[in-house]
Amino acid sequence: MMELDLASDPHRRLNPLTGEWIQVSPHRSKRPWQGRTEEKPEQQKVEYDPDCYLCPGNERAGDARNPDYESTFVFTNDFSALKPDTPSEISNTENLLVARGEKGICRVICFSPRHDLTLPEMEPARIREVVELWTTEYEELGKREYINYVQIFENKGAIMGCSNPHPHGQIWAQETIPDEPAKELMRQSDYYEEHGTTLLGDYLKLEREREERLIVENDYFAVLVPYWAFWPFETLVISRRPFAGFTGMTEEEKDGLADIIKQITVRYDNIFEVSFPYSAGFHPAPTDGRKHPEWHFHLHFYPPLLRSATVKKFRVGYEMLGNPQRDITPEASARLLKEMPGKHYSLSEG
Q: How confident is the model at residue 345 (pLDDT cuts 50, 70, 90)?
A: very high
In the predicted model, is pLDDT for residue 44 greater than 70?
no
pLDDT tens digits for 143-189? 999 999 999 999 999 888 888 999 999 999 999 999 999 999 999 99
CB 302 within 8 A of CB 231: yes
Mean pLDDT of 23-38: 61
Mean pLDDT of 205-210: 98
Query: What pTM was computed for the model?
Result: 0.94
In angstroms, the CA 225 to CA 258 distance is: 19
pLDDT tens digits for 233-281? 999 999 999 999 999 999 999 999 999 999 999 999 999 999 999 999 9
Q: Helices 124-142 & 251-272, crossing angle to 10 degrees?
A: 120
- Residue 142 exposed, middle or buried by CB count within 10 Å (0-12, 13-18, 19+): buried
pLDDT tens digits for 65-77? 999 999 999 999 9
pLDDT tens digits for 98-124? 999 999 999 999 999 999 999 999 999
Mean pLDDT of 222-239: 97
- Residues tagged active-site: 168
Q: How confident is the model at residue 33 (pLDDT cuts 50, 70, 90)?
A: very low
- Residue 241 exposed, middle or buried by CB count within 10 Å (0-12, 13-18, 19+): middle
In angstroms, the CA 180 to CA 117 distance is: 30
